[in-house]
Copies of this chain bind each other. A is one copy, B any other.
Amino acid sequence: MYSDDKLHEECGIFGIYAPDREAARRTFFGLYALQHRGQEGAGIVSCDGRMAHIHKGMGLVSQVFNEENLRYLQGHMAIGHTRYSTTGSTKLRNTQPYILETLDGPLAIGHNGNLINAPQLRRELLERGVGLQTSTDSEVIIHLLAGAGGPDWPTRIRIMMAKAEGAYSLVILTREAIYGVRDPWGLRPLVLGELEGGHVLASESCAFATIGARMIREIQPGEIVRLDHNGYEIMQGAPPQKLAFCTFEQIYFARPDSVLNGRLVHQVRQKLGRQLAKEAPVKADIVIPVPDSGTPHAIGYAQKSGIPYSEGLIKSRYIGRTFIEPTDQLRKVGVAMKFNPLPDNLKGRRVIMVDDSIVRGNTSGPLVQLLRDAGAREVHVRVACPPIKFPCFMGVDMATQAELIAANKSIDEICEHIGADSLAFLSISGMMKALKATDGYCNACFTGEYPFQTPIPLIELQEKEKFPQVWGN
């Protein structure tokens, strides 16, 4: 499998309370629209107020579900989950939603995020005699809920929130209602919408358009929302902390047609590109994106700079999902297996290549070379976010710090490394300006300032050694 030079999100979640009997079918289409947030596996739990039904599987949403298993997922309530794909991994065991029987009826959850105090919570559960089946934080959360002990679900959710530290957007299914929960830092997105006679929750608002729903508002940090036959009710579940929404949702993760933190993502990305054009102008003949994720940024750069927008690289729509090993010769071809240049657009031209981000920096160099081989006279690389220097502990799968090129090289060194005529990253302040914010974002991967006090990496390592109980499907 070809790795791209991108950060990766962990999951997409969806929840619905609707009067008709097709909650699961709508959840299917909702997950479908959230497929970009995870391709490893998917699952849906539905409930008709009495019994819960579950179907999960490995692969794309469209591979996991068919008419037969959808038919079986009856009820007016449902939650769904789509999971991020790590190379070749096939653990059905880790696929969500999780479901448990409790004294108060079935309980199911879908989780997007990462707890930083999971090892401690895990140990607490084990000490209480609760055996665990997976190594996921999400299982920790469902057991915290099942064992919380309060008189009703909102209370139990609050008890759980008081213990959990880190990133968590949750959809929760109980016998009577669907709940949505967003952590007090607001690290991962969660949006509320309505459709004829019912309400929906999703990681991103793009899922609403797909099923004919309208966005009501984003769930705020620390809030709990309850969907039931009375409509929806929003409660405060934990005191909100200083908002720390993941900047990378705006830069790369989210679909451009989603609205996050009040802003349409495509607009934000164009703004990032415009700001980049302001900060790092250069004389050139065309502006091209690194497709597909760099497209809105490049459009913004082109608009601001007045340099014509065009395409210079075509990305194979299908490549990147195969597990077939290339031959040695093909390995040398490398990036050319994914990107083909458009020589007629490039010949003799000074080209500005706009990318949304650079992580390990192993793709930019070959792309620059590809453009030069296709006749580009100059290649100027512009990156629509600041250099990534620090690891994420809040649910983003990224390189270790040693692999992050900007953690180890200066910008000049990177420029030389990738063979560009010039290289510029967007500044942190420029980025915040484009985001129309002075605050409210987690920029830890750029700055190393994490939103938590906890000495994160330390715990991580200590505890990992103690619990190496890995197992299969």
Given contacts A129-B148, A316-B33, A469-B101, contact A210 B337 (CB under 8 A): yes
User: In whole angstroms, what is the CA distance A66 to B324 when docked?
Assistant: 6
Name A72-121 residues within 8 Å CB distance of B.
Answer: 72-73, 99-103, 105-107
Given contacts A33-B316, A333-B212, A472-B55, contact A296 B311 (CB under 8 A): yes
* Contact in complex: A22, B327 (CB < 8 Å): yes
Contact of A67 (CB < 8 Å), options: B25, B123, B325: B325
At the interface, yes or no: A464 with Cβ under 8 Å from chain B? Answer: no
Number of interface residues, chain A, beta carbon within 8 A = 107
User: In whole angstroms, what is the CA distance A148 to B255 when docked?
Assistant: 48
At the interface, yes or no: A13 with Cβ under 8 Å from chain B? Answer: no
* Contact in complex: A310, B318 (CB < 8 Å): no
* Contact in complex: A211, B330 (CB < 8 Å): yes
Name A336-350 residues within 8 Å CB distance of B.
Answer: 336-337, 340-345
Residues of chain B contacted by A327 (CB below 8 angstroms): 20, 22, 25-26
* Contact in complex: A147, B133 (CB < 8 Å): no
Given contacts A28-B324, A50-B468, A327-B25, contact A318 B212 (CB under 8 A): no
* Contact in complex: B342, A257 (CB < 8 Å): yes
At the interface, yes or no: A473 with Cβ under 8 Å from chain B? Answer: yes
* Contact in complex: A316, B210 (CB < 8 Å): yes
Question: CB-nearest residue of chain B relative to A308?
Answer: B303
User: In whole angstroms, what is the CA distance A69 to B323 when docked?
Assistant: 13
Contact of A129 (CB < 8 Å), options: B50, B147, B468: B147
Interface-lining segment among A57-65, A390-398, A434-442: A57-65
At the interface, yes or no: A152 with Cβ under 8 Å from chain B? Answer: no
Chain A contact residues, CB within 8 Å of chain B = 20, 22, 25-26, 28-29, 32-33, 35-36, 45, 50-56, 60-62, 65-67, 69-70, 72-73, 99-103, 105-107, 123, 126-133, 135, 142-143, 146-149, 195-196, 206, 209-212, 255-257, 264, 266-267, 270, 292, 295-296, 299, 302-303, 308-311, 314, 316-319, 321-327, 329-330, 332-333, 336-337, 340-345, 467-473
> 5 tightest CB-CB pairs across the interface, nearest first?
A129-B147, A100-B131, A131-B146, A257-B340, A212-B333
